[in-house]
A and B are shown apart, each in its own frame.
Chain A
């Protein structure tokens, strides 16, 4: 699948934003009002900023951005529509939570319930994003049990690293934040490793023979393509990163995640290392997302010379 930069930016930025937002909600639920207005506002600004940048970038990649509002209408059947609805709804509790948690509005009793609702909605939104991909039967590498968990855990891990990083700047770094981030990064590492094993072992049971129905006669091969230069289908669905490069990039993702983990450990000694950890975790998420697209083979490639999919 063609790795569109707008979609990679959207899913990683908004993933981290929602991860951070969910954790802030839980912090509010646990501790009540934030200890400093500035800290709370910066956290909320970064979380909602990342989410908004992501949403805008995904809108600009549309053929008709001015009609984007229509995407909210088909939530009964479409995961993309559900994602849009969830994203829009989440702004309401998130903004309300930001106001009371920071203390700009004095309503301490609302902090806990708004925090929980914000956290749940943030995770629901990331879940719907993952489901857009996981529900496509045409793409074996996405139509897997681990696709959604990877989206959730990477969002939380990058969000958690961000939270620790921001906290270190405000001298509010806590051991608990580091431990949580380490646990999430470790989970991301393990899940991603398992995901790659899963897609490598998943049976490639669609063949050129079943696509053309000519298997009853014999083995099928491509003889002539229908057009002289690549068409939309080939450009969008035929993109494939070479296996050799995919291997290298997979290792790169694992190394970045491991380095983020080490930086997080180091932050226990010097809290500013959490900022480095956040940068490394975000870099890992971007490369991971690029590979998620570039490695995925679409079943339509069978009509264009692929033997199995």
Chain B
């Protein structure tokens, strides 16, 4: 059924931290690796070693440049983009076959590859470009929220996380229940001001993005006042050590070393 189920209490999704994402593509690569053999298999590529390789990926990492008012240099923000498992997903309601559906129990949006006719209408209805058509397979592919990992009892408990979340080296991707206000992801969203993409479209994405923290660099960071010495024994010890270590006698400058001499022997 492509009519939407009543809103579920459980809203599984991702929270993506734009402050810490370094754009390394690890999540995209491990997403491709897991899904090319999991629920979405095959995840076809065409002309993979040619000059114009294309293929189906469920996660894409963009790079944006943000120019701040009054700043000489712009900021680079790495920006992962995958299905946001929207609460009001028109990608589901436009599907003529019922292949696209939103799960009543946890809100995950999936495509049934057995019934999809490959009409591509759902990809037109998605504002976020989250659906990619698999030309060789003739069906639509999308992020499954790694439904075949998160409930997979053959995996160790700590591995029941989406592949992209596990792979991220900076911990920029978080997985959890955004319907539960006390979950870690909900707390993170509340703390850091997590937001929706294109909120005016009314799709109500479940996934949230955490904004980059305010800029701190040589131009913007305030010089922090150094603590004044209070004359204690510890202070005197540090002052003595500081003098000793800054002195030439301990570590000479390169120019002090006599390198004019011949080699001995």
Interface residues of A (CB under 8 A from B): 1, 62-65, 67-68, 70-74, 76-81, 84, 132, 135-139, 205-206, 208, 210-214, 216-233, 236-237, 298-300, 302-304
Contact = CB atoms under 8 A, between A and B. Distances in A.
Nearest to B76: A223
Contacts of B195: 213
Nearest to A83: B96
A211 B81 CA distance: 11
Interface in B1-20: 1-4, 18
A70 B68 contact: no
Given A223-B63, A303-B62, A63 B198 contact: no
**Secondary structure type dominating chain A contacts:** mixed
Contacts of B64: 208, 212, 214, 220-223
Interface in B114-155: 115-121, 123-129, 132-135, 137-139
Between A62, A70, A219, the greatest number of chain B beta carbons within 10 A of the residue's beta carbon is seen for A70
B197 interface: yes
B209 interface: yes
Given A211-B197, A220-B66, A62 B119 contact: yes
A237 B123 contact: yes
A224 B63 contact: yes
Given A213-B211, A233-B132, A299 B201 contact: yes
A137 B201 contact: yes
A64 B125 contact: no
Contacts of B133: 63, 232, 236
Given A74-B2, A78-B121, 12 more contacts: A77-B94, A78-B94, A211-B198, A214-B211, A217-B211, A218-B67, A218-B69, A219-B67, A226-B61, A232-B56, A232-B123, A300-B128
Contacts, number: 201
Interface residues of B, number: 71
B98 A74 contact: yes
A254 to B, nearest CB: 27
B96 A81 contact: yes
Q: Which one of B54, B66, B135 has the highest number of Cβ atoms from chain A below 10 Å of its Cβ?
A: B66
B30 interface: no
B202 to A, nearest CB: 7
Contacts of A68: 117
B103 interface: no
A213 B196 CA distance: 7
Contact of A217 (B63, B66, B125, B135): B66
Which of B65, B97, B195 lies at the interface centre, i.e. has the most chain A CB atoms within 10 A of its CB?
B97
Main secondary structure of the interface of B (DSSP, over half): loop
Interface in B196-216: 196-202, 209, 211-212
Closest 6 CB pairs of A and B: A63-B118, A63-B138, A224-B63, A81-B96, A300-B129, A71-B96
Nearest to B136: A63
B53 interface: yes
B104 interface: no
B86 interface: no
B3 A229 contact: no
Given A64-B139, A236-B120, A237-B129, A231 B97 contact: no
B96 A84 contact: yes
Contact of B74 (A65, A211, A218): A218
29 contacts: A62-B117, A63-B133, A64-B139, A70-B97, A71-B119, A73-B96, A73-B97, A78-B96, A80-B119, A81-B97, A135-B94, A137-B90, A137-B201, A137-B202, A138-B124, A138-B201, A211-B197, A212-B77, A213-B196, A214-B64, A214-B211, A217-B66, A222-B62, A229-B52, A230-B54, A231-B132, A236-B120, A236-B123, A236-B133
